[in-house]
Structure 1
Amino acid sequence: MTDSFDSEKNRASAWFRDLRDQIVAAFEALEQDHRSGPMSDAEPGHFDVTETRRSSDDGTDAGGGLMSVLRGGRVFEKVGVNISTVYGTLGERAQMAMAARKGIPGMKDDPRFWASGISLVAHMQNPHAPAVHMNTRMFWTPHAWWFGGGSDLNPCIEYSEDTAHFHATQQEHLDPHGADFYPRLKDWADEYFFIPHRNRARGVGGIFMDDHCSGDWDADFALTQDIGRAFLPAYLPLVRKRRVQEWSEADKDAQLVHRGLYAEYNLVYDRGTKFGLETGHDANAVLMSLPPLAKWV
Structure 2
Amino acid sequence: MTKTPATQAVRDYLLGLQQTIIQALDTCEQAAGGTQTCLQEPWHKAAHEPLQGNGITCILEGGQVFERAGCGFSHVQGVALPPSATQKRPELAGAAFEAQGVSLVFHPRNPYVPTVHMNVRMITAFPVKGPAVSWFGGGMDLTPYYGFEEDAVHFHRVCRASVQPFGPERYARYKQWCDEYFFLKHRNEQRGVGGIFYDDVSELGFDGGFAMMQSVGSHFLEAYLPIVERRKDMPYGQAQRDFQSYRRGRYVEFNLVFDRGTHFGLQSGGRTESILLSMPPQANWAYQKTFAPGTPEAALTEQFLIRRDWLAAL
Normalising to structure 1: TM-score of the pair? 0.90
In structure 2, the residue matched to 1:70 is 60
In structure 2, the residue matched to 1:265 is 254
1:9 shift after superposition? 1.1
The yes-or-no answer on 1:187 pairing with 2:176 is yes
SS at match of 1:185: helix
The yes-or-no answer on 1:44 pairing with 2:31 is no
Residue in structure 2 matching 1:54, options 45, 54, 70: 45
For 2:19 and 2:125, how far apart are their aligned partners in 1?
27
1:173 shift after superposition? 2.0
Q: Which amino acid aligns with 1:46?
A: T
1:59 shift after superposition? 4.5
Q: Which amino acid aligns with 2:252?
A: A
- Written as runs of structure 1 = structure 2, the 5 A alignment for 1:104-253 is 104-105=91-92, 107-108=93-94, 111-142=95-126, 143-214=132-203, 216-253=205-242
1:54 shift after superposition? 3.2
In structure 1, the residue matched to 2:19 is 21
In structure 1, the residue matched to 2:304 is none
RMSD between superposed Cα atoms in Å: 1.7
For 2:140 and 2:30, how far apart are their aligned partners in 1?
25
Deviations 1:212-246 (A, max 9, x none): 10152101110111111111001000001111110
Identical aligned pairs, as a percentage?
A: 38
SS at match of 2:88: helix
In structure 2, the residue matched to 1:40 is none
Q: Which amino acid aligns with 1:6?
A: T
CA contact (8 A) 1:53 1:281 kept: no
For 1:288 and 1:234, how far apart are their aligned partners in 2?
21
List alignment gaps of at least 5 residues for structure 2.
Answer: 127-131, 287-314
1:98 shift after superposition? 3.9
User: How many residues of Structure 1 are paired with residues of Structure 2 in the alignment?
Assistant: 280
For 1:127 and 1:291, how far apart are their aligned partners in 2?
13
In structure 1, the residue matched to 2:9 is 11
Residue in structure 2 matching 1:102, options 75, 89, 92: 89
CA contact (8 A) 2:78 2:268 kept: no
- Cα distance change on mapping 1:100 and 1:79 into 2, 3 Å: closer
The yes-or-no answer on 1:285 pairing with 2:274 is yes
For 1:206 and 1:60, how far apart are their aligned partners in 2?
34
1:60 shift after superposition? 8.3
CA contact (8 A) 2:84 2:264 kept: no
CA contact (8 A) 1:64 1:281 kept: no
SS at match of 2:16: helix
SS at match of 1:236: helix
For 1:130 and 1:7, how far apart are their aligned partners in 2?
38
CA contact (8 A) 1:173 1:230 kept: yes
In structure 2, the residue matched to 1:81 is 71
Deviations 1:143-169 (A, max 9, x none): 411000100001111111000000001
